[in-house]
Homo-oligomer: A and B are copies of this chain.
Amino acid sequence: MTGALWVVGLGPGDESLLAPAARRSLEEAEVVVGYRGYLALVAHLLQGKEVEAYPLGAEMERAQRALTLAASGRRVALVSSGDAGIYGMASLLLELWTEREGGPDVQVVPGVPALAAAAALLGAPLGQDFAVVSLSDILTPWEAIARRLEAAAIADFVIVLYNPRSGRRTWQLQEARRILLKHRSPVTPVGIVRRAYREGQQVRITTLSGLDASQVDMETLVIVGNSQTRAGRGRLVTPRGYRRGR
């Protein structure tokens, strides 16, 4: 008896950015497992299903439970917001799965990641090479995070900051700002997007020196421009270089 397991990226939350493949996985699943905050985003698609809603932080429990259910022959969807592969459930789930033998088929269903959603609302800050860094030092030592920030700043990457701040992690964003300011101008444009494509959405454009951590929480993404990023008419743009080349 072999079930199926879809690891599904829901996109930012709004149904207009839920890919048809993700919707189909939810429809085909008998059991849907996930963080309760994300399940609430798609509650209307889950009627008549078994739903197993977990609190924040129970990632290991969610992954193991989804694997167990699927191994017992059920069709299971394990959900993340955004893209399931980018700081979502896919890596932990597959880490556990690759250590097993046999067991369910696993398929990762990609979604619109938070970085693409935030960038679209800001304009086009990701027009050149970019680096994606999570400021959460729960799973990664701060020294490794600081080293990546420094390297990305020196090499003039646009930088996308995930998990910039939470109730408990309050100093990391200011420390990141300090590291970036060693290598990048204080007037570097910065975009702050809170609750992209969700109720209460907020989009702000500021500068690296003006970055106010109190406007940032765990539902916020911060995008720091590179040396060529410009702000104009309420948008951020990192030119790709078409006009320089001509």
| Interfacial residues, chain A to chain B (CB-CB below 8 A) | 9, 11, 14-21, 24, 59-60, 83-87, 90-95, 97-99, 108-113, 116-117, 119-121, 123-134, 138-140, 144-145, 147-148, 150-152, 154-157, 230, 232-233, 235, 237-246
* Residue contacts A-B, CB under 8 angstroms, 19 given: A17-B19, A59-B242, A83-B116, A85-B124, A85-B125, A91-B126, A91-B128, A92-B127, A95-B243, A97-B233, A108-B121, A111-B112, A112-B112, A129-B133, A131-B132, A139-B245, A147-B156, A151-B157, A152-B152
In the complex, besides A108-B121, A148-B156, 11 extra interface pairs with C-beta distance below 8 angstroms are A15-B20, A16-B19, A92-B239, A110-B116, A128-B134, A129-B131, A129-B133, A131-B152, A132-B132, A139-B241, A151-B155
Return chain B residues, CB-CB under 8 Å to A20: 15-18, 20
In the docked arrangement, what's the CA distance between A133 and B98, Å? 28
